[in-house]
A and B are shown apart, each in its own frame.
Chain A
Amino acid sequence: MALINYASREINCKIVYYGTGLGGKTTNLEYIHKQLAPGIRGEMISLSTETERTLFFDFLPLDLGSVQGFKTKFSLYTVPGQVEYNASRKLILNGVDGIVFVADSQTDKWQENLDSLQNMVENLAEYGLTLDSVPYVLQYNKRDLPTINSFEELEGGLNPKGIPSFEAVAMEGSGVFATLKAVSKAVLNRLS
């Protein structure tokens, strides 16, 4: 649900990074936070456990500047990936405008990726949303690791509809902005 404010001439959209635990969602936000100037991004808030795994969510506000006379702001969220935190994942999808699904490319994560995508579809359905109604893009992360599925295999398993997809090494930043740019465009296109 984008908030379009004619009084303050602002648009606010919510982007959620979804995917299996330890796939690299938080790392994406950390890289974005590190690379962008403080005027463009706000402070990143991580509600996490000591072991760094996201307990509830990460939050990073971005100011994309003025688009057609409206100050355009995006709020980036990540969900906790662990299976047991489904209640949190569901809440965070409330009011979502765009999704980045971060898949872990490692071969032993194949089933977890599929399960997480399925879980996302089920949670979206609770809000009356489907993957056809919410703009989303895919990111195949951890391309630097040795034991990974090929791009084609991941496409075959996770991307039957052929939506935009990106290979990434979030830890080093590669693919992070390409992914963010694609989801931002998809969200703004949906507003037009």
Chain B
Amino acid sequence: MFNRAGFNLVITEEGIRAINNTLGNLVLESGARAVLLLDKGGQLIAAQGETNALDTLSLAALITGSFSSTKAIAGLLGENEFKVMFQQGTNHSIFMAALSNTQNILATIFPNAITVGRIKYKCLQVLDTLEEQMKAMYSSTPESPFRKAAAAEPKINDLF
């Protein structure tokens, strides 16, 4: 359904407020540096924590890529996909968990002073809530702000 032709994800004010709330609490309770909610197409849906210090747009594209690319490995084991993934660095690590709606990933960036067990526990706790909150947005009526495409053209002509 998510990729059906012409489907757009409309992020509403109330919808994103609820999600940011969940993500913000996750940052506070887990001690994570930042949490990102991603779409598997590579789009950043929401982020909380020290997001200004991070290139969240590139992180979204790359985290999604690395998460999705393990699908082929999962397939060789007869799994559909891996539900969680963990990448450990010297100072920081990333914990990723798929929402069961198959379309979103929660990625948590945290300092290694915090154990991965704690992060995992806190992340898995909020997955169902995020799932519900995303469901509400996926089912909102897509409405485009571009009522007259003609108005978009001069802008593009200026740019390139």
Which residues of A come within 8 Å of B, CB atoms? 1-8, 11-12, 14, 40, 42-43, 45, 47, 56-57, 59, 61, 64-70, 72-73, 75, 77, 87-88, 91-92, 94-96, 127-130, 133-134, 177, 180-181, 184-185, 188-192
Residues of B within 8 A of A87 (CB): 69, 71-72
Assess whether B100 is interfacial by the CB under 8 Å rule: no
How many residue pairs link A and B with beta carbons under 8 A? The number is 154
Residues of A within 8 A of B8 (CB): 1-4, 191
Cα–Cα, bound, A57→B69 (Å): 11
Q: Are B152 and A181 in contact (CB under 8 A)?
A: no
Chain A interface SS verdict (over half):
mixed
* Per-residue contact bits, chain B 6-25, to A (CB 8 Å; 1 contact, 0 not): 11111111001100000000
Residues of A within 8 A of B61 (CB): 45, 59, 61, 75, 77
Chain B interface SS verdict (over half):
mixed
Cα–Cα, bound, A133→B13 (Å): 29
Q: List 28 A-B contacts (CB under 8 A).
A: A1-B8, A3-B39, A3-B43, A4-B10, A4-B142, A6-B11, A8-B11, A12-B44, A40-B159, A42-B55, A45-B61, A59-B62, A64-B156, A67-B155, A67-B156, A68-B146, A68-B151, A73-B57, A75-B42, A94-B3, A127-B3, A128-B4, A129-B5, A133-B6, A134-B5, A181-B156, A184-B156, A192-B148
Residues of B within 8 A of A4 (CB): 8-11, 142, 144-145
Q: Are A130 and B5 in contact (CB under 8 A)?
A: yes
Q: Are A95 and B41 in contact (CB under 8 A)?
A: yes
